[in-house]
Each structure stands twice: as C-alpha cells, then as structure tokens.
C-alpha cells in the first residue's frame, strides 16, 4: 500500500476576512498565517466551504466568534487532510474529509477537531460534502445522543420547521391496532413478527377485528412500563425542541382502548367503572406533564364517541376533559371513532364540531375541532362563534399546504410571515417571532 504524497502546507495562505460589519462587500481576501493543528486536531487543505446563517450574522456584526475561535468566518469545510496531531491518529494525510469547525473555514487551510471530521463518501463531490457536517452532526446529536436512538430502533420524523415555526409532536401507542400492513399496500392485514411486525398488546386479548393481530392483555407491570415510556418520549421531545406535545388517546389506539367499555373488559383497577377505565390515560398525562415545562402546552386528542351504543360517549368525554383540565392539559383535540370496526359514522362537513363545542362549554377547557373542515369561512365560523378555540386540518392541508395563507387572504386578515419570506407577503404583514 502506498501513502499518497501530500504537499506540506505553506506558511501563508489566502483567507476571507470581514473588514467591518456590513453587506457582502465587506468580505475581503487577505493573507494570513496557516494555522497549525493543536491537540486532537487535523489541518485540512480546503477545497470547499459551506455557507451558514451564522456566517451571514457574523458578517453583519451580530455573531461574534466564540472565545478562542478564528475571526475568519466559515463553519463547514471539505478538503484533504495535510497534517495530523499525534493524538488524532485516526486520520492520515491524504484523507478526504468534511468537518464542522468553530470558524476559519473561508480560507485555503483550516484546523478542525478530529472528532468533528467525517470521511467524504467516494461518490460525493467535495462541494456537496461541504454542506453536510452541520446538518449531519445536528441530526446525529438529536437522534442518537439526546434522543438515545439505538441500533434496530425505528424513528418517525414528522416534520421540521427550520427555526421559523412552531413544532408539535403527537405521542401514541397503537395498542391492539399496531403491526398492520401499510394502508396503501392493498387490503389491511396483520403483519407477523417474521415480516417486520411486532407483538401487539391491549387491555384484553380481544383483537380489533378479524384482520388485525390478536393482542396480549397487558399486565400491571407492562402498563407501568408504558407510562414511563411516555415520560421518556416526552423527555426526548423536549430535548429535540418541540413546542407542543399531544397525547393520542383517540382512534382506537391504546389509551382509547382502555377508555371504552367496548374494548376494555379488564377486571382490575384499569377496567370496569369510568374511574378505572380513565386511569391509564390520566397516568400517562400526569407522566407527560411532570416532564413537559409548565409554559409549554399539552394537548390530548380523544375520540369523543365510539358511535356505538354501550361504548365511550360524549358524556364520558366531558367528564374526562374536566379531569384532564385539572391535570394541566391545555387543549382537548376532539376527534371521534376508530375503536369499533363496524361503527356507522355520519361523516359530513364539520361533523365532529359539536363535540368540541360541548366539551368546551361543559368542561371549561379549550378545544380544537377537527374533521372535514375545508374552507376558510367554515373554519372562521367555528372559532368566531365560540364553538372551538382552534381548528385542526388534515387532508385539506395535504391538498393545499398554503391553506392558512389563502384563508388569511380570503378573510382579509394579516398573518405573520417568516422574515426570510416577507418579500412575498401581502403588504403590511409582520415578521414571525419565535415562541418564547
């Protein structure tokens, strides 16, 4: 094996410095000494540098470099290793790397901590590689270090907001409705463990229907483990920076299965009378609330009725909503159905709004209305008449992701826009401020 010959770094190099705070014209080429790698560092001959928001802020004078960091901007580089400190021996001169640095990337040479370097995949250009490290390390830190994701675990990434919006996460346990085929993969069927499925569990061993897997009845210890899993998930959601957490207690998933007498035939303290059937839901909400800061909202989604005689209904929903309000829940998100396969549901525009209205009025808690809300006027009527405190849209937002902007224009309301997009906004639109 031959080691590639890498020319030694010269004494001086070309770099880009910020002469004074301002626009792009304050960036000037200059001559600087080539930095030398300190303990645990490598020296990289830079072929490409990433451009990040902090570079622009630094140029504007709003982001002083951290103590000890170079005053030269540039937080991501890609190029070739030319020198290696003895304690950074996992890298060798000639290695193609991209790296996250504390500054100094807009230069011909840059030092980087060895642990913040990544190999550039052979098929990737050096220019593309220079845009990788910041995102890679952010995702890696959030998912693996802070979130504790383990090999073999699966993760659902619901969405991201690039720091300009509000993010909410829904925490759910699918209970006996889990381990099924994908909805778009033909008729729904249970998926066995041998095919990537998992053992499902519920309040009893009764399956949701013939095509769903047969669950195992949860023991008291299993239930306690699920409550603490909700707390752990909440902690990870907090670490990941979500603003709102919603507990899913609807649609026939685990918590709803415990609520409804039609799916909960247990004879222990989690089954039987109302106070026992709501126990798991309340324990989960308490566990979530203990972790989630008071200043951030907790929502709970319920199915206000099973649409089936003898099942969960609106009266019990009102009672549950009162209990949830007393436990620090900020909003009840009022959906319905999903727990009885054969239920007949009178689906029509706004058909679940009466549930939101009644729970709001009788339990004295803010509610969200959901289900076949599609037009701006319909949404406005629901909120302005006091039937619900907000509306939640699903399919209409998939059809028209800019629905809120269209609705605002149609109702002649001014809404805030991300300040990066203000040039496209109607005149007078204010810039969006992040939640405190």
Ligand X SMILES: Cc1cc2nc3c(=O)[nH]c(=O)nc-3n(C[C@H](O)[C@H](O)[C@H](O)COP(=O)(O)O)c2cc1C
What does the binding site for ligand X look like in residue numbers (CB under 6 A)? 170, 248, 250-251, 301, 335, 370-373, 393-396
Q: Of all residues in the chain, what percent are helix, strand and coil, respectively (each to 5)?
A: 30, 20, 50
**Closer by beta carbon to ligand X, 366 or else 371:** 371
Q: How far apart are CA 338 and CA 4, in angstroms?
A: 64
Half-sphere exposure of residue 177: CA atoms within 13 angstroms, side-chain side = 20
Report in angstroms how near the CB of residue 337 gets to ligand X at its nearest. 10
- Least distance between ligand X and beta carbon 346 (Å): 14
169/318 with CB nearer ligand X? 169
Least Å from the CB of residue 242 to ligand X: 15
Residue 350 Cβ, how far from ligand X at the closest point, in Å?
Answer: 9
In the complex with ligand X, the residue whose CB is nearer, 239 or 400, is: 400
Full DSSP string of 52-75:
-HHHHHHHHTS-PPPTTS-SS--S
Is 110 or 298 the residue whose CB approaches ligand X more closely? 298
Query: Is 253 noted as a catalytic residue in this protein?
Result: yes
Alpha-helical segments (H) within 240-328: 254-259, 274-277, 279-291, 314-326
Identity of the residue, 182 or 427, whose beta carbon is nearer to ligand X in the bound complex: 182
C-alpha–C-alpha distance, residues 71 and 181, integer Å: 55
Contacts of residue 85, Cβ cutoff 8 Å, sequence gap at least 6: 37, 38, 39, 40, 41, 42, 114
Nearest to 327 by CA among 226, 247, 237: 247
- Contact residues for 287 (Cβ-Cβ < 8 A; gap 6+): 227, 228, 230, 231, 234
Closest distance to ligand X from the beta carbon of 253 (Å): 8
Helix (H, G, I), strand (E, B) or coil at 298: strand
Longest dimension (CA), the chain: 84
Minimum distance from residue 264 beta carbon to ligand X (Å): 20
Question: Which residues are 180's β-sheet partners?
Answer: 190
In angstroms, the CA 153 to CA 341 distance is: 30
Catalytic option among 106, 109, 212, 253: 253
For ligand X, which is the closer residue by CB, 159 or 436? 159
- Shortest CA distance to 280 belongs to which of 339, 203, 207? 203
Sequence-distant (6+) residues with CB within 8 A of 395 are none
Q: Which residue is nearest to ligand X (CB)?
A: 394
**Shortest distance, CB of residue 371 to ligand X, whole angstroms?**
4
Q: Given the complex with ligand X, which of 112 and 255 has the nearer CB atom?
A: 255
**Residues acting as catalytic residues:** 253
């Amino acid at each position: 094996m031959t080691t590639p010959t890498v020319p030694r770094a010269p004494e001086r190099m070309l770099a880009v410095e910020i002469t004074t705070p301002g626009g792009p014209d304050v960036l000037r080429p200059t001559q600087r000494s080539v930095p030398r790698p300190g303990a645990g560092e490598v020296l990289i001959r830079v072929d490409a540098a990433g451009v990040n928001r902090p570079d622009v802020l630094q140029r504007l004078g709003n982001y002083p470099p951290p103590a000890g960091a170079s005053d030269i901007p540039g937080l991501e580089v890609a190029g070739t290793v030319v020198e290696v400190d003895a304690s950074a021996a996992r890298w060798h001169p000639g290695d193609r790397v991209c790296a996250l640095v504390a500054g100094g990337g807009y230069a011909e040479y840059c030092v980087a901590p060895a642990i913040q370097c990544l190999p550039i995949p052979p098929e990737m250009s050096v220019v593309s590689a220079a845009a990788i490290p910041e995102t890679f390390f952010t995702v890696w830190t959030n998912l693996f270090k802070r979130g504790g994701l383990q090999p073999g675990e699966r993760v659902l990434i619901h969405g991201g907001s690039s720091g300009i919006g509000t993010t909410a996460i829904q925490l759910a346990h699918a209970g006996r409705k889990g381990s099924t085929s994908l909805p778009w993969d033909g008729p729904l069927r249970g998926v066995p463990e041998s095919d990537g499925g998992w053992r499902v569990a519920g309040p009893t061993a009764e399956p949701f229907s013939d095509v769903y897997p047969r669950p195992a009845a949860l023991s008291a210890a299993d239930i306690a483990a699920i409550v603490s899993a909700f707390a752990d998930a909440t902690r990870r959601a907090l670490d990941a920076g979500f603003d709102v957490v919603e507990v899913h207690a609807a649609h026939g998933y685990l918590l709803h299965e415990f609520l409804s007498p039609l799916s909960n035939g247990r004879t222990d303290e989690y089954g039987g009378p109302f106070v026992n059937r709501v126990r798991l839901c309340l324990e989960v909400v308490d566990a979530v609330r203990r972790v989630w800061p008071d200043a951030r909202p907790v929502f709970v989604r319920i199915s206000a009725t099973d649409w089936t005689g003898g099942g969960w209904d609106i009266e019990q929903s009102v009672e549950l909503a009162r209990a949830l309000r007393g436990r620090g829940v900020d909003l009840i998100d009022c959906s319905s159905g999903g727990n009885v396969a054969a239920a007949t549901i009178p689906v029509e525009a706004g058909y679940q709004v009466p549930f939101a209205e009644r729970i709001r009025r009788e339990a004295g808690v803010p509610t969200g209305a959901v289900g076949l809300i599609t037009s701006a006027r319909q949404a406005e009527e629901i909120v302005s008449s006091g039937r619900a405190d907000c509306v939640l849209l699903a399919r209409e937002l998939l059809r028209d992701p800019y629905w809120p902007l269209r609705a605002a224009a149609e109702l002649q309301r001014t809404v805030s826009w991300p300040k990066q997009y203000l040039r496209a906004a109607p005149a007078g639109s204010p810039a969006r401020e992040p939640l405190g």
